[in-house]
Amino acid sequence: MRRIALVLLAVSLALAGCTEKPGEKGKEGGRPEKVDGIPTSQGTHKQKLDVGTIGHREYLLHVPAKMADGKWEDGKPADPPALVIALHGGLANMSQMEKLTGFDKLSDEHGFLVAYPDGFMTTWNAGDCCGAAKIGHIDDVGFLGKLIDKVTGAGLADPKRVYVTGFSNGAGMAYRMACEKPGEIAAIGVVEGALVTKCDPGRPVSAMIFHGTADRNVPYDGGGNRDFNDGRPFPPVSEAVDFWRRVAGLPEPHERVKALSDGTSCESTGKSGRGVAVTFCKIDGGTHRWPDEAGAMLWNFFAAHPRT
């Protein structure tokens, strides 16, 4: 009897060895629980990323139902969605950015992935700003580049539809990503931020820029201090708008696009021969805040501007 029990145990162990581990591909054409360690079920998942230094970096990844329940082939989405990376402002975090932007709802409606990375001690090294990340020479470009490579390399996002947006310090980091990773970023969305890094992208990147005329943190016409230990003024927003238009070879704005409900006007140059566009939204009387309609407008802009 004991011998029979041992045989049955051996058979069970052998069968268990043939069973797919959690996270591996399930039935043919089905969705795995994870791909390269990344969860694929609907909802927001907290993730850790090894960046080759002591410790790790973290981000939230929101997976929409349209992706989770859509068609899968060989353990990957048959039609990989776009990826939007949303960067929080200084002295904030990834969870606050998730609540601020409304991107989760837009993600569920339109089927794109959203990643909310966490900065270093609530800050991003955007060049001449800000705080601990700048002082510590944190390689945030490297971190975000690894995040993009991780998600697109797993086949979970379309590498030609990767977009970076941010608020305040995070907006400055979005600029820096466009400056240093133009081959990976299709478009950026900048809300109340400044271009305070050396920038020679070598190729154009589409940009949608929001800025309030009454912003005292990052003044519309320039001014203030770039950081607590840097008294140089922020450049005016017009310099960044003009810079990205020049890189794309675009003329002065000639097309008025959908405005915010408060009457804020947005101007666009239209698309260049390479499909690149720059849109600037001037928020009359706007302060240092994320406009209620910015998320939806940014997604519409991103959706219209894949990387070519």
Q: How crowded is the C-beta side of 90, counted as CA atoms within 13 Å?
A: 22
Q: Would you state the pLDDT for residue 264?
A: 76
pLDDT beyond 60 at 7: no
Q: Where do the structural domains in the chain lie, given as residue ranges?
A: 29-303
Q: Is the bond into 129 cis (omega within 30 degrees of 0)?
A: no
Instruction: Using alpha carbons, select from 43, 20, 302 the residue that is nearest to residue 162.
Output: 302
pLDDT of residue 274: 77
Give one word for 202, left, alpha or beta, with left for phi > 0 and alpha for psi -120 to 50: left
Indicate whether 256 pLDDT > 80: no
| CA separation for the pair 72, 61 (Å, rounded) | 19
Q: According to the model, what pLDDT value does residue 255 have?
A: 62
Give residue-wise pLDDT tens across range 221-237.
Answer: 999 999 999 999 999 99
What pLDDT sits at residue 97?
Answer: 98
Given a cut of 50, whether residue 268 has pLDDT beyond it is: yes
DSSP string of 148-201, one letter each residue: HHHHHHTTSS-TTSEEEEEETHHHHHHHHHHHH-TTT-SEEEEES----S----
Looking at residue 231, what is its pLDDT? 95
158 closest CA partner among 124, 138, 137, 185: 185
Whose CA is closest to 241, among 273, 193, 286? Answer: 193
29-303: which CATH architecture? 3-Layer(aba) Sandwich (3.40)
Does the pLDDT at position 33 exceed 60? yes
Average pLDDT, the chain: 89
Rounded to whole angstroms, how far apart are CA atoms 61 and 83?
10
Secondary element (H or E) of residue 234: none
Q: Are 265 and 259 in contact (CB under 8 A)?
A: yes
Each residue's pLDDT tens digit, 78-90: 999 999 999 999 9
pLDDT of residue 205: 97
Inform me whether the pLDDT recorded for 40 exceeds 50.
yes
**Is the full-model pTM beyond 0.75?**
yes
pLDDT band at 29 (very low <50, low <70, confident <90, very high): low
pLDDT tens-digit map of 116-138: 999 999 999 999 999 999 999 99
**Per-residue pLDDT reduced to its tens digit, 50-64:** 999 888 999 999 999
Query: 272 falls in which pLDDT band (50, 70, 90)?
Result: confident
Query: Sorting pLDDT into bands at 50, 70 and 90, what band is 269?
Result: confident
Residue 192 · residue 217 · CB < 8 Å: yes
Beta carbons within 10 angstroms of residue 215's beta carbon: 21
Identify the pLDDT of residue 9: 38
What 3-state class would DSSP assign to 110?
helix
Q: What is the pLDDT of residue 4?
A: 39
